[in-house]
């Protein structure tokens, strides 16, 4: 993947994330979000279930509730805030710092021990979601 394709993809993903959060802020009552296709089909929550509610809780300043919904929400909100700024920085300064960081992360997670650790953390989060009965 080249730099422009990565930046375009990340920009679209962030815009979709902002739109999704906004939609849920204005339409969802009592933090009820029911859009998980995996949960609809399988009957159990996916590893990311609760992420929208987590981000909304963070935006409302409730860090504890955000972590209880889904700890991945912290990562999502930070990413959604920083990535557009990072893209703008690179484009205005004709740099590739985000692309270089992406490539380094790709190499990091291609190492078996780090990939397995990340998968185990994702699995633990999934078990946590199932245990909570999201």
Question: For the segment 76-133, what is each residue's pLDDT rounded down to a tens digit?
Answer: 999 999 999 999 999 999 999 999 999 999 999 899 999 999 999 999 989 988 888 8
- pTM of the prediction? 0.79
If you ran DSSP here, which 8-state letter would residue 36 be given? Answer: -
Dist CA 20 CA 113 (whole Å) = 34
- The helix-helix angle for 97-110 and 3-27 (nearest 10°) equals 90
């Amino acid at each position: 993947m080249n730099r422009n394709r990565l930046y375009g993809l990340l920009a679209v993903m962030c815009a979709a994330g902002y739109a999704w959060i906004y939609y849920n802020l204005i339409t969802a009552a009592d933090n009820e979000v029911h859009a998980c296709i995996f949960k609809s089909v399988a009957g159990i929550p996916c590893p990311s279930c609760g992420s929208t509610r987590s981000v909304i809780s963070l935006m409302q300043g409730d860090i504890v509730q955000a972590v209880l919904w889904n700890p991945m929400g912290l990562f999502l909100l930070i990413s959604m805030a920083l990535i557009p700024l990072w893209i703008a920085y690179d484009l205005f300064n004709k740099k590739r710092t985000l692309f270089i960081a992406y490539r380094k992360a790709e190499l990091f997670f291609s190492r078996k021990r780090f990939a397995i650790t990340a998968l185990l953390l994702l699995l633990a989060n999934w078990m946590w979601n199932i245990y909570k009965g999201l």
